[in-house]
Amino acid sequence: MNELPPLREVLAAAGIAADKRFGQHFLLDLNLCRKIVRLAGVATGDRVIEVGPGPGGLTRALVEAGATVTAVEKDPRFIPLLQDLAASAAGRLEVVEADALAVDEMSLAPGNDPIRVVANLPYNVGTPLLVKWLTGRFRPASMTLMFQKEVARRIVAAPGDPDYGRLAVLSQALCRGRVVMDLPARAFTPPPKVDSAVVDLTPLPHRPPDRTVQALQTVAQAAFGQRRKMLRSSLKPLGGEALCQAAGLDANVRAETVPVSGFLALAEAWLDRA
Ligand code: SAM
């Protein structure tokens, strides 16, 4: 990988300019890319799915670290550049042209090996992709993902924090999440309007059953849909006060103060009543 030309030259030679429609803000500093890969804990022999490799900075760092990478890119302009990278990756890089929102990750990386996801995500699809990986059939062994800072805060927010909401409840019911790196907008080419942060998510050892995860989304949506109201009122369509009582919660509190364990109790209570 060391003999490859700098990313800026690769982009210039291919005549590729960033396209806003694809949320393109590139990390061209390979040392930053290497740092993200270190923070992800990627080691020799790991299997990684990378979404949105673009010109391939993070991809190079992943291959350098010894990972076997499947890189899913929607913008066809990058495919030839990534194929060039694959040619010097000794069979450890597969490039797939696809929309990551629609792709079936299980068919991309068949077998039972644990698969990590590492990505500098396009801002416009970051949250739906995270929800897909949290709730879908594909269960990543870890996720190390760059988001706009505001979304990163919403993932790790604690009860009582203004950013605490549905995304925090769902993420924290299933994973331990930490912000491991902050990046200013100027770290990217072209710089976006907002700063970014990398969140590392590791699945909790005991995942609730799928039906509980679905019910959790339903109760969290209802509770945070009217976050200024007390649970007795925001959860009225799902059972209101009786539901709170069954979950062992005070119906006179607002969603923003209820811990993740309280939402899990609400989900279980709602399933019991249904
Ligand atoms: N990983 C590169 C880097 O760090 O320089 C590029 C990051 S850029 C923020 C997001 C990348 O995701 C772009 O290459 C963009 O074309 C790609 N992308 C956007 N939407 C996508 C989608 N739905 N599926 C797959 N890739 C997508």
Tally of domains in the chain: 2
Asked whether residue 144 is assigned to any structural domain, the reply reads yes
Q: Which domain covers residue 169, as residue numbers?
A: 7-203
Q: State the pLDDT at residue 261.
A: 98
What is the percent of the chain where pLDDT is above 70?
99
d(CA 146, CA 53): 12
CA of 237 to the centre of ligand 1 (A): 40
pLDDT at 110 over 90: no
CB of 57 within 6 A of ligand 1: the answer is yes
| Chain position carrying tokens 């990988």 | 1
CB of 56 within 6 A of ligand 1: the answer is no
* Tens-place pLDDT, residues 196-209: 999 999 999 999 99
Please provide the distance, in angstroms rounded to a whole number, between the alpha carbons at the two ends of the chain.
56
Token duo for residue 252? 């006179």
pLDDT at 274 over 90: no
d(CA 35, CA 198): 11
- Angle 36-39-41 (CA atoms, 0-180°, nearest 5)? 115
- Give the atom of ligand 1 at the shortest distance from the alpha carbon of 103: 24
Domain boundary among 203, 228, 259: 203
pTM above threshold 0.85:
yes
Sheet order of strands, 115-120 included: 93-97, 68-73, 47-51, 115-120, 142-148, 196-203, 175-183
Q: What is the CA radius of gyration of the chain?
A: 20
CA of 107 to the centre of ligand 1 (A): 20
Measured N-to-C along each axis, helices 57-64 and 30-39 cross at an angle, to the nearest 10 degrees, of 50
Asked whether residue 100 is assigned to any structural domain, the reply reads yes
Output the domain CATH number for residue 183: 3.40.50.150
Token duo for residue 163? 């950013």
Asked whether residue 1 is assigned to any structural domain, the reply reads no
CB of 29 within 6 A of ligand 1: the answer is no
* Tens-place pLDDT, residues 43-66: 999 999 999 999 999 999 999 999
Handedness of CA 105, 110, 115, 116 (dihedral sign): negative
- Angle 44-79-8 (CA atoms, 0-180°, nearest 5)? 80
